[in-house]
Structure 1
């Protein structure tokens, strides 16, 4: 039976505002019925400056985390970023100690011409850049991964490269084909292709044969008057957005070898379009996954770029979204479980 996991980012507000640590997260994932956890070791507001939601990498700490994971018989995966050799080697060692078989990362980009985003009203992401790629980004990424393959082989751990808001599915498939290693595949994010103007169904078709792991999520498009294009991609609980999750799920089941699907419910969260319209085949918003919906909040109450850090607006909004986030995780789990059970005829 296909196993279902939960990514720590799904409860980012709980981590960032010290309402939950990695142990509480594992307990919550088990309580909700998940079969595994995906731990994001990327730094963010109020998190460990190196190990993010994991909270540290001391042997004592990792031993306690592993004991709790084993107590509930959960699988574990690790999410990190970039491909710097020393960092990835450390992440691989941590993954080995926790019993993780898969690490997610993504290729760092070099912009041809970048537009720095304003730091006002929070931020959409750490990159804070909208750009078209310097093609050398992929070539440099390939060389970095090649150096890591012997380490991955030694520890028997696979690296999954994600479509992380900047790369089209064709670009990533080309990278994996050039690497041609059983230790390197792809990470299919059900929603991130939208930020490069690519329909999630198209990305699923292209990426599925090479996919090792996933982020299961749903998105809508909302207006943002402050954005260059006037619209942004907005995360919502699974089943409440416009991604054809039934079709993308079926593609993953039929064309990949996946045995796990991981929920990464990016709510509340908004992301800018990162590439030029048409890059991934979609020229404008309005149809399919790109259908425009009402914003989560009135623009004068909270702007889209403030959704991710509502504590910057008011404690009242923070408390409201903390509750909505946990409810969104519950909704997303039930939706995915029903999707799985219906697909397999349970």
Structure 2
């Protein structure tokens, strides 16, 4: 049966604010009836400077994690960023000790200059004239870095999955994988990140599925944010409470990929800006499909969308509320994904 896992970003408030460590996270995933974990090893507030939610890379620490996973019969994947040779080498060494088969990374994107519209109004932008794209050398350099680390991936027998990480369209990533042409480099389909590149998640699923090694399962809505350059941002919500056609995306993954796992990355509470020009991924306007505009999940007078990720910066009271909301959101998403799996398995 298809296995289900949980990414540490799903409980980032708990990990960053020391309400849970990596062992508590694994225990929580087990209690939720999940089969694995996906650990983000990127530094952030309250996390280890080098190993993020993992906490440490000492042999003793890694042995304890591996034993816990073995006892619970759970798999593990790692999420890192960038493609620097030295960093990938040390991550692969840690991954090998943990029994990891797949690590996620993404191509480091160098944004180009954002050009404001000439409407004359302060803060006003014309969708047809705003650009927020990337330096095209990003992919050329990324491909060169990927080719350099191929011998390492082969040595450790560990696959590298490139994520559609807000900037990249599905076509661009598929093109990268085709150019690399290696069984050790594939894709990680994030169910929501294509929206930041103005691409419908269903379209991204169709394009990426044949090359997928892993996933981030999530749901998104669009909410108004007057202070943003577009006036709107992408907002994470528990699965089933958003705009994404999750069933269709899930079915595409089942029919057109060789995936044996689906990992939840319930990014709630969280918001993200659009990273590319309007129309880059094929969507030219808001208000339809995955880009339907919805009401704010929190009172705008109390907390702004850009502040959702670090509510402790607003107040301890708000942090406590959002800790509860995040845990309940994870439970809702787990229940929703299990139902999708059961529905597909029993059809």
| Rounded Cα–Cα distance in structure 2 between residues aligned with 1:39 and 1:315 | 26
Question: What residue number does 1:301 align with?
Answer: 302
Q: Give how far 1:131 is off.
A: 3.2
The two structures have a TM-score, normalised by structure 1, of 0.95
Q: Deviations 1:183-218 (Å, cap 9, x if unpaired)?
A: 000000000000000000000000000010000000
RMSD of aligned Cα (Å)? 1.2
Q: How many residues align?
A: 333
| Rounded Cα–Cα distance in structure 2 between residues aligned with 1:212 and 1:239 | 24
Q: Secondary structure at the match of 2:112?
A: strand
Alignment gaps of 5+ in structure 1? 116-129
Task: Describe how 1:137-286 pairs up with structure 2 within 5 A.
Answer: 137-286=138-287
Q: Give how far 1:114 is off.
A: 4.5
Alignment gaps of 5+ in structure 2? 116-130
Question: What residue number does 2:26 align with?
Answer: 26
The two structures have a TM-score, normalised by structure 2, of 0.95
Question: What residue number does 2:85 align with?
Answer: 85
Question: What residue number does 1:125 align with?
Answer: none
| Rounded Cα–Cα distance in structure 2 between residues aligned with 1:263 and 1:110 | 28
Verify: 1:40 aligned to 2:51, yes or no: no
| Rounded Cα–Cα distance in structure 1 between residues aligned with 2:93 and 2:227 | 43
Question: What residue number does 1:122 align with?
Answer: none
| Rounded Cα–Cα distance in structure 2 between residues aligned with 1:297 and 1:182 | 44
Question: What residue number does 2:96 align with?
Answer: 96
Q: Give how far 1:296 is off.
A: 1.1
Verify: 1:10 aligned to 2:41, yes or no: no
Q: Give how far 1:299 is off.
A: 1.3
Q: Give how far 1:24 is off.
A: 0.4
Q: Deviations 1:54-107 (Å, cap 9, x if unpaired)?
A: 001111111111111111000000000000000011111111110010000000
Q: Secondary structure at the match of 2:328?
A: helix
Q: Give how far 1:134 is off.
A: 1.6
| Rounded Cα–Cα distance in structure 2 between residues aligned with 1:315 and 1:111 | 35
